[in-house]
Amino acid sequence: MVMRTLLCLCAIALWTGPRSAAATRQAVLSAQAPHTQSVTCPGYVAGNVSQTGDGFTAELTLAGPPCALYGRDIKRLELGVRFDTKNRLHVHIKDSDGQQFQIPHGVIALDPGYGVRNASSSLWFDYFHDDSSGFGFRVSRGDQVIFDTVGHPLIFEDQYIEVTSNLPANANIYGMGESPDFFRRNPANTIKTLWNRGSPDLLQQNVYGSHSIYMELRDGLFHGAYLHNSHGMDIVLANSTIQYRVLGGTADLYFFGGPSALDVIDQYTELVGRPSRIPYWALGFHNCRYGYKSVYEVNSVIAKYSEANIPLEVAWTDIDYMDRTRDFTFDPVNFPLAEMQKQLAYLHERGQKMVLITDPAILYNSSYEVYARGHAKDVFIKNTDGSEFIGQVWPGYTVFPDWFAHNTSSWWSGELKRYFDQLPIDGMWIDMNEAASFCTGSCGTGKSAGSVPPYPWTLDPQPPHRIINSSDTLLVPPYAIHNREVELSDLTIETTAKHANGASEYHVHNLYGHMESRATHDFLVNYRPNQRPFILSRSTFAGSGAYVSHWTGDNSATWQDLHISIASVFDFGIFGIPMVGADICGFFGNTTEELCARWIEVGAFYPFSRVHSALASTPQELYRWETVAEAGRRALRVRYALLPYFYTSYQRSVENGWPVARPLLFEFPRIPAVADNDRQLLVGDSILVSPVLAEGATSVVALFPAGLWYDWYDYSVIKGVNGNVTLSAPLEHVNVHVRGGKIVPTQEPAMTTADSRKGDFEFIVAVDEHGAAAGELYVDDGETFDTASRWIQLGYAGKALRIRQRSGKFKIIQPLSKLVLLGVTGISKVVVNGSGINASLKAVNGSTIVTDLDIDLNVETLIAFS
């Protein structure tokens, strides 16, 4: 045992971000923690080791007097080590009595793996005893130690767990959130707080979701780690360490050997769940606004997009359509059901779609049938006295579905069925599911069911915060995570509230949005058998990608938020939710013409591409300014041409978990300059987008890795040397380059994805320095689960393109009619499977365009050029 200055105090002292509420809470708690300068933490001693076929177990016993750092030390622990797969290691430290809360298997069914012997694993586990810190362990990959707790005592208390691992100096760490931030986390001064919070995006603060997965790049190779725990926590990077500080549960750790970034994400999503299959139409462009006054205004917006010749795939409506913002209702004056049905029919006639919003909070009023039916089935979260917990959301005092209750799924499905039977919308948008509340505690308890209180932010003066009850450690745990609010219960469900499984909200808070996502997904796949659902959720957790897509929430119309949006999209690629995007042009505040133009030039390449603005902001539909409209037309034309490539990339997400939007780092990990590059993005591995992110700029400095990069528009070539190139970027132009050595499938863009799919295929063959290129194409019906499919392998070498049928029997109707051979010249003849054809050839800027082809993509084909 030694006296030890806590790393957590050092890290807090280094924290420089905005944290007024957390600071207030920390100050309130300081009187409870007189041991905050130094404290004896003995660690544990390992014993009674028992080998298994794919790992071992051991007992951990407290090595000395309890340190009682932030709770009651648990004296006896169990260590389980299992080599789940060749590249995944599971290390679980839990209390021997099994009293600590763990995420139920029924909530997140982790893949167990097939189990391998240590000798067959790419990872190695060693444990040690240190006289000053007790038990510690190391996880290694070959000669490289990737996780090392030796020298840092394990602290395992009923309401606080601390696990610390050494890191190299200036480590390259990515992931951990959800938190708007630059992509590479600051290794010397980062605190990522995981406590779901429904609040506007603020730099480096915790917001809607909780994802503890992180990746580290070391010596050109990636590895990763994930802590499977639903409690609030801080993950701290400081003093060449990463430290987990968790408010309960167990230390349930998984390690991923990589060695590439895509390998780590593959291994992680194999564990928590692969991304869901999306309908093809979800890849189109979407429009929404909070503040549309009527269905007729939305009709006008739909028409104006068409008049402006800007593609519009999906018309969204925010809470405005509801009757007094009550779920599953329609405003009888401004959004009457009959008119909404007409709008949906009109959209469907034109190949377009409709998505509407739904919140989990249900109006507390016995005359509201949705509530009455739920109350009768006992589906709502309770206070400790057994009464219904009543918060406040848009419609007034509200109750919240308890996803652990026996009848909740059937009740939720019943309400959704009544809703869809009236208006069979194409997708669902589930919002406010952190769950958000406008007050602290059960503020509606004792109030009349029909009363509608004012929104708290409209009160002047603002009411004081309630007196903090520090005697209840579920309300105020001894360790204060860096949640921005004063209390964990602020703006959400009270942490003492009870769920039907006996758990307090304290233990399961971060799971709420994930469980709503699964319940909603389950309804849709049963309501529309064999039809892929599209669900957009604000709150997410590990594994949510198996059910929903995500947008990054309530950002602001600022240049910084435009920049940060790219990093946030990269984050969710790591988190296993590849269908992600930010509100284009910004949600809060008034965008500008220039900012909106630049934002659509980025947003056209988000996997999920939607413009969305707030109630009080200036309208920002793309047709509002001609420069924005033109920027949108140009950028979306590229997107719609790339739809086959986007869809192929997304199928890789479904099968391997790989992100659609990626940083250069994932493809070029050995180039030091890309380690913190979050100002450019790759779509898949072949399309590089270099947008303008600064006000007033008409050029952009872009990094080009070694190799050939072809301009999308004029086919000019840049010979990358792992350095920067200055590109011209007039206001209406975004720079897009095709990576040499890649083949990109496209189709002629149209105003909807359905019409785009009707066009002939065109392949862009971008050769590398050796005159070679490769790519692939995935095709299915884009709608159903049991669709036939087809994978096609594309390869170009020796002035010949080979089309190989890798798998599948889907019948592709559209032929290949055009080839763009980037970097290929001197062609005078085209031969298909040994026979010459009368193709048209055109030389353009060092490349060749081949048209008048009629190639059946369902058969093996060799196209030779001479």
User: What residue numbers bound the domain in which 155 lies?
Assistant: 3-15+42-272
**Same domain, residue pair 367 and 511:** yes
**Same domain, residue pair 458 and 530:** yes
**Same domain, residue pair 50 and 184:** yes
Q: Considering the domain boundaries, does residue 396 fall inside one?
A: yes
Respond yes or no: is residue 415 known to be catalytic: no
Q: Considering the domain boundaries, does residue 263 fall inside one?
A: yes
Structural element, H or E, at residue 75? none
Burial (0-12, 13-18, 19+ Cβ within 10 Å), 375 = middle
Given 692, 721, 736, which residue is the final one in a domain? Answer: 736
Respond yes or no: is residue 554 known to be catalytic: yes
**Same domain, residue pair 84 and 180:** yes
Structural element, H or E, at residue 650? helix 643-656
Pairing of strands 742-747, 699-704: unpaired
* Helix-helix angle 593-603:626-641, to 10 degrees: 0
Q: Considering the domain boundaries, does residue 28 fall inside one?
A: no
**Same domain, residue pair 687 and 764:** no
Structural element, H or E, at residue 387? none
Using the structure block, give the residue that is written with the tokens 């005092």.
397
**Same domain, residue pair 74 and 209:** yes
Give the count of beta carbons closer than 10 Å to the beta carbon of residue 530: 10
Give the integer Cα–Cα distance in Å for 779 and 789: 6
Query: Do residues 177 and 224 make contact, with C-beta atoms less than 8 angstroms apart?
Result: no
Give the integer Cα–Cα distance in Å for 207 and 201: 7
Closest CA to 802 of 757, 827, 772, 826: 772
Give the integer Cα–Cα distance in Å for 133 and 46: 12
What pLDDT is recorded for position 13? Answer: 27
**Same domain, residue pair 822 and 769:** yes
What pLDDT is recorded for position 450? Answer: 77
Give the CATH number for residue 196: 2.60.40.1760
Burial 789-828 (b: 16+ CB within 10 A, else e): ebbbebbbeeeebbbeeeebeeeeeeebbbbbbbbbeebe
What pLDDT is recorded for position 451? Answer: 87
Per annotation, catalytic residue among 54, 178, 320, 554: 554
> Residue 636: what residue type?
L
> How many structural domains does the chain have?
4
Q: Considering the domain boundaries, does residue 574 fall inside one?
A: no
Using the structure block, give the residue that is written with the tokens 């509606």.
444
Give the CATH number for residue 717: 2.60.40.1180
Give the CATH number for residue 472: 3.20.20.80
Helix (H, G, I), strand (E, B) or coil at 702: strand
Rg, the chain, Cα only: 28
Per annotation, catalytic residue among 178, 266, 434, 667: 434
Q: Considering the domain boundaries, does residue 184 fall inside one?
A: yes
**Same domain, residue pair 707 and 816:** no
**Same domain, residue pair 72 and 211:** yes
Q: Considering the domain boundaries, does residue 661 fall inside one?
A: yes
Using the structure block, give the residue that is written with the tokens 């720079």.
735
Closest CA to 474 of 505, 449, 516: 505
Respond yes or no: is residue 431 known to be catalytic: yes
Give the integer Cα–Cα distance in Å for 315 and 298: 8
**Angle 294-278-426 from CA coordinates, rounded to 5°:** 30
- Contacts of 422-426 with CB under 8 Å at 24 or more apart are 422/330, 422/337, 422/341, 423/330, 423/337, 423/340, 423/341, 423/344, 423/356, 424/344, 425/344, 425/354, 425/355, 425/356, 426/281, 426/314, 426/353, 426/354, 426/355, 426/534
What pLDDT is recorded for position 590? Answer: 98
**Same domain, residue pair 145 and 49:** yes
Output phi, psi for 801, to 5 deg. Answer: -105, 120
DSSP state, residue 665: H
Phi-psi region of 506 (alpha: psi -120 to 50; beta: other; left: phi over 0): alpha
Burial 8-36 (b: 16+ CB within 10 A, else e): beebbebbebebebbbbbbeebeeeeeee
Given 209, 243, 272, which residue is the final one in a domain? Answer: 272
Burial (0-12, 13-18, 19+ Cβ within 10 Å), 200 = middle
**Same domain, residue pair 723 and 764:** no
39 is written with which tokens? Answer: 């404290």
What is the number of H-type helices and E-type strands within the chain?
A: 15, 49
Give the count of beta carbons closer than 10 Å to the beta carbon of residue 712: 19
Give the integer Cα–Cα distance in Å for 153 and 133: 5
Closest CA to 376 of 393, 399, 360: 399
Cα dihedral angle (507, 508, 510, 514), rounded to 10 degrees? 160
The alpha carbon dihedral of 299, 354, 553, 401 has a sign of positive
Structural element, H or E, at residue 7? helix 7-14
Given 534, 549, 576, which residue is the final one in a domain? Answer: 534
**Same domain, residue pair 63 and 205:** yes
Per annotation, catalytic residue among 73, 95, 313, 431: 431
What are the CA-CA distances from residue 44 to residues 37, 70, 146, 842 (Å)?
22, 17, 22, 74
Query: Do residues 542 and 525 make contact, with C-beta atoms less than 8 angstroms apart?
Result: no
332 is written with which tokens? Answer: 């009888």
Burial 228-244 (b: 16+ CB within 10 A, else e): bbbbbbbbbbbbebbbb
Closest CA to 688 of 740, 637, 636: 740
Mean pLDDT per 10-residue section of the chain, whose length is 866 residues: 27 28 40 45 97 97 96 98 98 98 98 96 97 96 97 98 98 98 98 96 96 98 98 98 98 98 98 98 98 98 98 98 98 98 98 98 97 98 98 98 98 98 98 98 93 93 94 98 97 98 98 98 98 98 98 98 98 98 98 98 98 97 98 98 98 98 98 98 98 98 98 98 98 98 98 98 98 98 98 98 98 98 97 97 98 98 97
